[in-house]
Amino acid sequence: MKTGVGVGGQGVILLSNIIGKAALKAGYPVRSADVLLAFEPAEALRYAHYLSEDGIALVNTYPIHPTTVTTGQFTYPPLEEILRPLQRICNKLKTIDATKLALDAGNPQAMNVVMLGALSEHIPLREEELIEALSESVPAKFLEVNMRAFELGKRESIQFSNSSNLPIFYIIKFFKMCMSAFDLSLFACSQFLSY
């Protein structure tokens, strides 16, 4: 099982649909996978238990502070405190300031596509299939920004990885929408399945 996680509004569902469409176009069967694609650091740690020992975590380093942090009830942990346990859990950890890269591409909402670009270097889907699915999933007026975001994420990931691709995964549906009783932060995650 693979999991993509983030805070509500970060584009987890859109990204799930894009990768799912590309995987279907490539004809891959559904099974299990070894990637945690996290749009937010604390959510990466929250769902790290889904990673296999050989898994890779791709983590956006930009934090989304829940209400309890913004109101001063709690403090958000330093990034190093979040990443340290992740490094022990997974085989590889790649941190990406995907939010900054999305800004560089022209729109901070393209952060999810930056993460897609980074992910593209770790799965055996052809770039053409991902781009075709992306083109079918975003409005034409946002396609150019999203294409730049994809390239920036891919370039960032290429600098990180010289390893072979991990098994492909399907992101088959919106899996869970949760409201935490402790921090009242809304987050979404999608279930990723691979072979």
* Domains, the chain, with CATH or none: 15-194 (3.40.920.10)
Report residue 119's pLDDT band, with 50, 70 and 90 as the boundaries: very high
The larger pLDDT score, comparing residue 32 to residue 26, is at 26
Report residue 23's pLDDT band, with 50, 70 and 90 as the boundaries: confident
At residue 72, does pLDDT exceed 90? yes
Partners of residue 177 on adjacent β-strands = 188
Most distant CA atoms of the chain, gap in Å: 49
At residue 8, does pLDDT exceed 80? no
Q: pLDDT by residue (tens digit) across 133-188?
A: 999 999 999 999 999 999 999 999 887 654 444 443 322 222 222 222 222 222 22
| E strand intervals along 31-168 | 35-38, 56-60, 92-96
Report residue 101's pLDDT band, with 50, 70 and 90 as the boundaries: very high
- The whole-angstrom separation of Cα 149 and Cα 105 is 5
Residues in Cβ contact with 122 at an 8 Å cutoff, skipping those fewer than 6 apart: 35, 56, 58, 157, 161, 165, 166
At residue 30, does pLDDT exceed 70? no
